[in-house]
Amino acid sequence: MFGEADPGYGFVNGETPELGIAFKPEFRQQGVGRRLLGAIMDQARLDGFASLSLSVDPANEAAVRLYSSLGFERCGGYTSSWTMKVEL
Ligand SMILES: CC(C)(COP(=O)(O)OP(=O)(O)OC[C@H]1O[C@@H](n2cnc3c(N)ncnc32)[C@H](O)[C@@H]1OP(=O)(O)O)[C@@H](O)C(=O)NCCC(=O)NCCS
């Protein structure tokens, strides 16, 4: 969670945790990212957070598809990075 004075790329507001996720190549495309993100969303909901956000390069189509399928929607960013947010 970054403050307004020092925001991350996916900053939405001071109450929304911002996610960053990356696996080493040998661990990609085995379903771990989907499971991890689902678990993070469940835990954030239990912890009382209303939303999560992230920043993604729209050229990273696989990642955008993954986030969209989990309910993330574009809420900002119009150049080389999109900000996406999911309501929990
Ligand atoms: C993006 C990333 C975190 C996804 O994690 P992952 O464990 O590879 O994803 P999963 O195996 O759970 O796959 C999730 C979905 O994305 C698809 N997918 C993932 N990587 C893909 C690729 N390179 N090409 C095509 N589809 C891909 C899978 O087919 C899967 O779809 P499905 O569930 O409908 O079958 C991971 O690939 C990664 O670290 N990539 C490099 C760093 C990066 O781009 N980080 C995101 C920055 S915003």
Find, among 54, 52, 50, 41, the residue nearest to 82 by Cα. 54
Which ligand 1 atom lies nearest to the CA of residue 54? 48
Cα–Cα distance measured from residue 25 to residue 21, given in angstroms and rounded to the nearest whole number: 13
Q: How far is the CA of 85 from the centre of ligand 1 (A)?
A: 18
Supply the pTM of this predicted model. 0.92
Q: Where are the domains of the chain?
A: 18-87
Over the stretch 47-59, which tens digit does the pLDDT of each residue have?
Answer: 999 999 999 999 9
Digit-coded pLDDT (tens) for 13-41: 999 999 999 999 999 999 999 999 999 99
- In this structure, the number of other CB atoms found within 10 A of the CB of residue 84 comes to 26
Among residues 49, 41, 58, the alpha carbon closest in space to that of 16 is found at 49
Class of domain 18-87: alpha beta
67 Cα–ligand 1 center, Å = 9
